Amino acid sequence: MARYALLSRRLLASRPRMHGTARTFATATAPDQQRPSSDYRVKLVEVGPRDGLQNEKNSIPLATKLDLIDRLAKTGLTTIEAGSFVSPKWVPQMENSSEILQHLLTKPPSSPHPLTFSFLAPNLKGLNNAFSVLSQHPTAFATESFPAQPTKPALEIAVFASATESFSQRNLNASIAASLAGFRQVIQAAKDTHSLRVRGYISVVLGCPFEGYDVSPHRVAEVATALLEMGADEIALGDTTGMGTAPRTKELLACLAAAGVRNEDVAMHFHDTYGQALVNTAVALEHGIRTFDCSVGGLGGCPYSPGATGNVATEDMVYFMETLGMDTGVDLDAVVDVGEWITREIGKGNASTVGKAVLGARRRAEADPAKEK
């Protein structure tokens, strides 16, 4: 907590003085010595509908998944990971991703903001399955005008690499080198055929379930630069096991910077297995990273990482960012409602500490309104 307070003081001390709410941005006329308003904007990528649900044992109805995406789109979140074109043999929960994509193209959620939907396509077969849906609606999504238009969603394809050979074999049944060779084809096809944006995930960057803490930041940098050189637009660094610590997060980001990877090309994807997700988020913020993945209700896990719990909760991330004076554009109360709904819907406990706290405060206010005032 002391680190959070220090980071908050550093961010707010350099932020232009403003009237009104704490989350109002400075204008373009701010003096040169003041930090630009964009430095306080944080992009949250909601991964609940894909990464959050993929490991659930009980089949989740398509209608529930579509309802979840629709509810999330109304909270101010603008980028939502919606599905995965992988073999249903390995990830049965994602078998209706084609139907999800079809629905989003024909009946996109209503939102005052442009929306982007991301789908995992780890190989050409998966990508072609996505293409078969896209070809039926060639004008239904934004391409050259990425990011999306208010009336058309933008689509993004994601590929998954690994920072260790052991995890690569378990997750992709291929070496790192072989997986990268396959991703080159996927990235090129995604861009050449439909002008799609591509996100490159790198798993187990701060700890591997099979190789422990011995994950070289230099190897992560090598994989990241390889993906960027292939045409990936963004690299999401995944602490898949939640083993990351503040010093190791700092070392990793310093190594990437030394390798020439820009902060604007990096997103952080933290799991909270050891309760360090927000600590590591603070380190990344201080380094200059402004894109973070999160999952409503703290849903998630990894089928190839035994013991790994969910992603950092969206509710916790929004609240944490707000306490630091950052602007996510996301309505905390609305996200809390979605987290409570989806965890009950699938019969799972709500893993968001902030979500539970907000709900508890509401119940107390309803029970004794005068006392709450």
Instruction: Record the tokens describing residue 23, joined without a space.
Output: 């989350």
Q: Which residues pair with 268 in a beta bridge?
A: 237, 292
Burial tier of 41 (Cβ tally within 10 Å: 0-12, 13-18, 19+): middle
- Which residues carry out catalysis? 302
Residue 34 carries which side chain, given as an amino acid letter? Q
Cα–Cα distance, 42 to 290 (Å, whole number): 5
Answer for the pair 327, 305: CB distance below 8 angstroms, yes or no: no
Answer left, alpha or beta for residue 173, where phi above 0 means left and psi between -120 and 50 means alpha.
left
- The two tokens of residue 34 are 């003041």
Q: Are 358 and 336 in contact (CB under 8 A)?
A: yes
Query: What gap in Å lies between CA 287 and CA 368, rounded to an integer?
Result: 44
